[in-house]
Amino acid sequence: MTGMNLVGPEADALDLGAVFRALADEHRRSVMTELAVDRSDSERGCNSFDLPISKQTQTHHFRVLREAGLIDEIDYGNRKGIRLRRADIEKRFPGLLALLGAESPGGTAPR
């Protein structure tokens, strides 16, 4: 089976409190900002975001993002994929990703 065994809440069950708590951390927010800017929404590797923290801590952060419903984690056994749940987020919290994208250091305005 190819992945997706790690699941978060349904689109309608996304909790704004959990989302804000997830985005309160600088590292998690930088991940979400990168994802928000990349309009291709392609699956990304966990270490494509170079976070200055240990891999155990990265595991923790990605879990928080998944449990908040912001990303999907695709488990391949010895490798993991990350994908932004853009449609679900836009449906439940329209404009949130734009706020994150506007914070992109490259000045990558959503237009």
Partner DNA sequence: CTTCAGGTACGACTTGCATCGTACCTGAAG
Partner DNA sequence: CTTCAGGTACGATGCAAGTCGTACCTGAAG
Residues lying near a second copy in the complex (CB under 8 A) are found at 16-17, 20-21, 23-24, 26, 29, 93-96, 98-100, 103
The listed partner (a second copy, DNA, none) that binds 74, CB under 5 to 8 Å by sort, is none
Structure-token pair, residue 86: 């853009």
Helix 26-37, helix 16-23: angle, nearest 10: 100
Length of the chain: 111
22, 70 Cβ separation under 8 angstroms: yes
The item of DNA, a second copy, none sharing an interface with residue 44, based on CB under 5 to 8 Å by kind, is none
CA distance 43 to 24: 24
For 89, the token pair is 């987020």
Q: Does 91 contact DNA by CB under 7 A?
A: no
DSSP state of 48: G
Q: Which is nearer to a second copy, 43 or 103 (CB)?
A: 103
The span of 7-15, 69-77, 83-91, 103-111 binding DNA (CB under 7 A) equals 69-77
Which CB sits closer to a second copy, 43 or 90? 90
